[in-house]
Amino acid sequence: MGVPARHHTRSRVDKRRSHAALKPLSLIKCSHCGEMIPSHKICPFCGYYKDKEVIDVFKGLNKKEKKQKQKEIEEEK
């Protein structure tokens, strides 16, 4: 395994890490339901991406949860 040949100064390490900070998520409004979602991601609230339904958000929910979710989506419109 390679071993560093020279000591890296605190300054040099900190300069490299000046680019390592996390940037805030860029949120956009979903074109279908209007929720704020990360860009270039399928909307987790309605399952749409680019005005097309891609995933079924009701899958795996029981009857009661389904009804509640449907109500939430209706209210958003």
Chain positions contacting Zn ion, by CB under 5 A: 30, 32-33, 43, 45-46
> Could you tell me the smallest distance in angstroms from the CB atom of residue 19 to Zn ion?
33
What is the C-alpha to C-alpha distance for residues 66 and 33, in angstroms, rounded to an integer?
Answer: 16
Q: Between residues 43 and 66, which has the closer beta carbon with respect to Zn ion?
A: 43
In the complex, minimum distance from the CB of residue 63 to Zn ion, in angstroms, rounded to a whole number: 22
* Spatial separation of the C-alpha atoms in residues 40 and 42, rounded to whole Å: 7
Nearer to Zn ion, 12 or 55 (CB): 55
Q: Is 27 in contact with 38 (CB distance < 8 Å)? A: yes
